Structure 1
Amino acid sequence: MRLLEIKDLHKSYGDTVVIDGLNLTINKGELRCLLGPNGAGKTTTMDLISGRQRKSAGVVMFNGEDISSLSEHQIVRRGIGRKFQVPAVFKDLTVRDNLETSFGTRKDPFQNMTSFQRSNGLKRFDDVIGIIGLGDRMNTVAGVLSHGETQWLEIGMVLMQSPDLLLMDEPTAGMTEKETMKTSKIFNALKGDHTLIVVEHDMSFVREIADVITVMHQGKWLAEGGIEDIEKNPVVREVYLGAEGIH
């Protein structure tokens, strides 16, 4: 079942073309990795899906609705959550408080906390804590968490919104090998119940999590398939991966 469909998407800044006729279909429950060299248009694609930037032309369909003209907050309310490369947590609040303020999709975090206390927030909290594995850090101030723990907390904050689609921009950047492996377990646990689009450069991580890989180049769709298909694709090797393939 199609959840997200991008049709002939374009984005330009003056004469500079960043996204050039991109077409992409994401099925419900799928984990899709976007690969490509710097400047390929991966993060811009995430921006256009989430409403952070406006398209120049084309359509972004989500759950059968054209969302490409909606505001960023309206798109969040439709069920799309996003984690950026640099974590955005409330450093002076505890892990518990960060998660409570993220419950729901209101702009005001304190309204979300009130909603958490009045509804089924506690069950959602327990589910999310189980997924991100920070049960022993609930009363810890976020500012003293390790880099990996901070990344997991922000993933949890996005999950508190119960999104249908999660956009993850380089979630393992700066992580240790051990933290990266834990993150792969988190993502694999999310597949099926959630749909994920992940921009990532760490190929060992991509191997662990990806159902399908889409390779972009100069704002265009270049290739698509499983990890073995991408590794063997001569066009991908030529323009992005080099003669020795994926590492």
Structure 2
Amino acid sequence: MFSKIAVAAAALLALPLTTTPASAQETRAVPLPLAAGIDLLPTADESREGYQRTSFKHWVDADKDSCNTRAEVLIAESRIEPTIEPGCKVTTGEWYSYYDGVTVTTPGGLDIDHMVPLAEAWDSGASAWTAQRREAYANDLDADRSLVAVTARTNRSKADQDPAQWLPPLADARCTYAADWVATKLRWQLTVDEQERQALVAIAAGCGQQPVEYEPAP
């Protein structure tokens, strides 16, 4: 006679094997070569009709810890322990602006750049989103590539341009920038126009094994 343990074990073995759902597999960050990531981006014409910056509510305090999105990025990206005054006012730290290779120690010289600018996101598919999804995009702290602290000068030079129109002045930053751009567009299922695609392909040709890593946004 089988023991109770043996019977239970036999019952477990008889159960069908389960696998991880495809949807769960798809949310894992898997590195891709930059060229392969570009190939995944759908091509579509862009339209800025109806765009207003206020369509994207940004710099919110989503987790109610007194630190808004700008402060959260400054705290996360400082290379040293930042000084934070009451009300989550970040006053000192050390930040490396990878667009131009400049180190900054006071946050007043920094902008928090949306890797894919809000206007470009609108052009590329966000115009069809709900207000809640646009807010989530504008305050995306769950992906390191979505928001980046850079010198105000380079951010304002970039404005709302895509890689066909603007690239970081530091040449060594351009492969990383292209990968971050592609990762952000893939994460949020945004499109590229033909000129943008051609520019990204041209950059990727000189980037060797530069990887792209992303997880789809919720």
Higher radius of gyration, 1 or 2: 2
**Larger RCO (CA under 8 A, 6+ residues apart):** 2
- What is the TM-score when the length of structure 2 is the normalising length? 0.29
Structure that is richer in strand per residue: 1
